Amino acid sequence: MPINETWETTSAVSVGENSSLTPEQYRKKMQRRKEIQEQRVAQASTEKGLIIVHTGNGKGKTTAALGMVLRSLGHGYKVAIIQFIKGAWEPAEKNVLGIWQGDLLEFHALGEGFTWETQDRDRDIEKAAAAWQKALEYICNPNYKLILLDEINIALKLGYLKTEEVLTGLEQKPYNTHIILTGRGASQALIERADLVTEMTLVKHPFRDRGIKAQPGIEY
């Protein structure tokens, strides 16, 4: 059985199945899983910069990306964040991350808010184009290890940017640079190009289902 299939099989054991095993059976089962995992790790020898996409209708796309930002900063890597849509907000994350700004972090909030608030498509297109040009400066700069293009998927979905233009720009990144693109509605072309794609699935939302407003510490 191929390693990946074996791993999926051994990982899909229910709690009930494990509880029915004797201590010796459980030990052997976990030992086999350990061997498979070690073999997988040994085979994964390639290291390269990733194209990462966070999409889907659920919450957490930007939040997950900011977790990677913090990890990179913790390693002493230089990071750039470009916000394409939510720029009119002053998120708490910006205040916290500000301790690194100018040293390891560059933060550019270049959007002017959500499209239903700006109500000016031409200006939205202009702002998105300016944000993309700023993003390209960092994408092409080998000193930056991680670049977060926040809500760029929305700009692409609304036609403010062309997918082909962005895909071409991504190819200009240095080999070891990671780029994260967030926002719902990621195009199939972008998903196919990416190395890592996570889709946040909406199951329940406090605003939609219960009329609970956005709150500090949760949404901003």
pLDDT on residue 11: 46
Q: Is 100 among the catalytic positions?
A: no
H or E element in which residue 161 lies: none
The residue from 28, 34, 71, 121 that is catalytic is: 71
Q: Is 46 among the catalytic positions?
A: no
Q: 137-175, pLDDT tens digit by residue?
A: 999 999 999 999 999 999 999 999 999 999 999 999 999
- Average pLDDT taken over every residue of the chain: 84
Q: Is 134 among the catalytic positions?
A: no
Q: 35-80, pLDDT tens digit by residue?
A: 788 777 777 667 899 999 999 999 999 999 999 999 999 999 999 9
Comparing C-alpha atoms, which of 90, 158, 73, 77 is closest to residue 121?
158
Q: Is 115 among the catalytic positions?
A: no
Sheet containing 196-199: give its strands across: 105-109, 78-83, 144-150, 178-182, 51-55, 196-199
Q: Is 127 among the catalytic positions?
A: no
pLDDT on residue 16: 54
Q: 13-33, pLDDT tens digit by residue?
A: 444 566 788 888 888 888 888
The residue from 63, 115, 141, 198 that is catalytic is: 63
SS3 193: helix
The residue from 55, 61, 127, 177 that is catalytic is: 61
